Structure 1
Amino acid sequence: MTDNLFQPYALNDTLTLQNRILMAPLTRCMADDDLVPTDTMAAYYARRADSGLIISEATIIRPDGQGYPNTPGLYSPAQIAGWRKVTDAVHAKGGKIFAQLWHTGRVAHPHFFGGEFVLAPSAVKVEGTVPRMRELSYTVPKPASHEEIEQLIADYSQAAANAIDAGFDGVEIHGANGYLIDQFLHYSSNQREDEFGGTPENMARFPLAVVDAIAERIGADRTALRISPGAYFNMETDARDRQVFDYFLAQLEQRNLAFVHIGIFDDSTVFDYLEGTASAYTRARYSKTLVGVGSYTAESGSEAIAKDQFDLLAIGRPFIANPDYVQRVKTGKPLVEYSDTMLAELI
Structure 2
Amino acid sequence: MNNSSLFSPIKLGRNQLTHRVVLAPLTRFRATLSGEPTDSVIEYYSQRSSPGGFMITEATFINPFSGGFPHAPGIYTQTQLQQWKKVASAVHKKGAIIFLQVWHVGRAGTKYLNPNQEEVISASSIAIGGNSVLTGRPFEVPRAMDINDIKELIADHRQAALNVIEAGFDGIEISSAAGYLLDQFINSSSNKRTDQYGGNKENRCRLALEVIGAVVDAVGQERTSIRLSPGGDFQDMKDDLPIETYSYLVSQLQARFPRLAYIHLIEVRSSFFSDEVNTIDTLAPYRKIWKGPIITANGFSTATQHAIDFAERTGSLIAFGRAFLANPDLPHRLCHNLPLNKYDRSTFYTNDDVGYTDYPFTELTQK
TM interval, shorter chain, is over 0.9
Q: Is 2:305 aligned against 1:299?
A: yes
User: How many Å separate the matches in 2 of 1:313 and 1:231?
Assistant: 18
Aligned pair in 2 of structure 1 residues 136, 84: CA closer, same or farther (>3 Å)?
farther
Superposed displacement of residue 129, structure 1: 3.1
Preserved CA contact (<8 Å) 2:182 2:208: yes
Aligned to 2:342: 337
Match of 1:57, SS state, is coil
User: How many Å separate the matches in 2 of 1:319 and 1:253?
Assistant: 30
Deviation per CA, 1:127-174: give whole Å up to 9, x if none: 23333x343542111111101101100000100100001111001100
Aligned to 1:257: 260
Superposed displacement of residue 4, structure 1: 2.0
Aligned to 2:289: 285
User: How many Å separate the matches in 2 of 1:189 and 1:67?
Assistant: 21
User: How many Å separate the matches in 2 of 1:334 and 1:321?
Assistant: 12
Root mean square deviation, CA, Å: 1.9
Preserved CA contact (<8 Å) 1:187 1:241: no
Between 34-43 and 328-337, report the one with greater CA deviation: 328-337
Preserved CA contact (<8 Å) 1:265 1:293: no
Match of 1:35, SS state, is coil
Preserved CA contact (<8 Å) 1:67 1:130: no
Aligned to 1:90: 91
Match of 1:30, SS state, is coil
Aligned pair in 2 of structure 1 residues 268, 37: CA closer, same or farther (>3 Å)?
closer
Deviation per CA, 1:33-90: give whole Å up to 9, x if none: 1111001100000000017211000001011111522110000001101111111111
Between 63-72 and 144-153, report the one with greater CA deviation: 63-72
Aligned pair in 2 of structure 1 residues 191, 67: CA closer, same or farther (>3 Å)?
farther
Match of 2:43, SS state, is helix
User: How many Å separate the matches in 1 of 2:294 and 2:189?
Assistant: 26
User: How many Å separate the matches in 2 of 1:258 and 1:213?
Assistant: 15
Aligned pair in 2 of structure 1 residues 148, 268: CA closer, same or farther (>3 Å)?
closer
Match of 2:58, SS state, is strand
1:56-67 matched pairs, under 5 angstroms = 56-67=57-68
User: How many Å separate the matches in 2 of 1:306 and 1:340?
Assistant: 29
Preserved CA contact (<8 Å) 2:24 2:320: yes
Aligned to 1:120: 122
Aligned to 1:273: none
Deviation per CA, 1:267-307: give whole Å up to 9, x if none: 999xxxxxx84322321332321111111244222211221
User: How many Å separate the matches in 2 of 1:267 and 1:341?
Assistant: 20
Match of 2:211, SS state, is helix
Match of 2:208, SS state, is helix
**TM-score normalised by length of structure 1:** 0.92
User: How many Å separate the matches in 1 of 2:306 and 2:269?
Assistant: 13
| 5+ residue gaps, structure 2 | 273-279, 358-367
Which amino acid counterpart does residue 299 of structure 1 have in structure 2?
Q
Q: How many residues align?
A: 338
Match of 1:63, SS state, is coil
Which amino acid counterpart does residue 124 of structure 1 have in structure 2?
I
Which amino acid counterpart does residue 117 of structure 1 have in structure 2?
E
User: How many Å separate the matches in 1 of 2:5 and 2:271?
Assistant: 22
Match of 2:71, SS state, is coil
1:227-246 matched pairs, under 5 angstroms = 227-246=228-247
Q: Is 2:180 aligned against 1:174?
A: no
Match of 1:217, SS state, is helix
1:206-245 matched pairs, under 5 angstroms = 206-245=207-246
Superposed displacement of residue 337, structure 1: 1.4
Superposed displacement of residue 183, structure 1: 0.7
| Percent identity over paired residues | 36
Match of 2:310, SS state, is helix
**TM-score normalised by length of structure 2:** 0.87
Match of 2:283, SS state, is helix
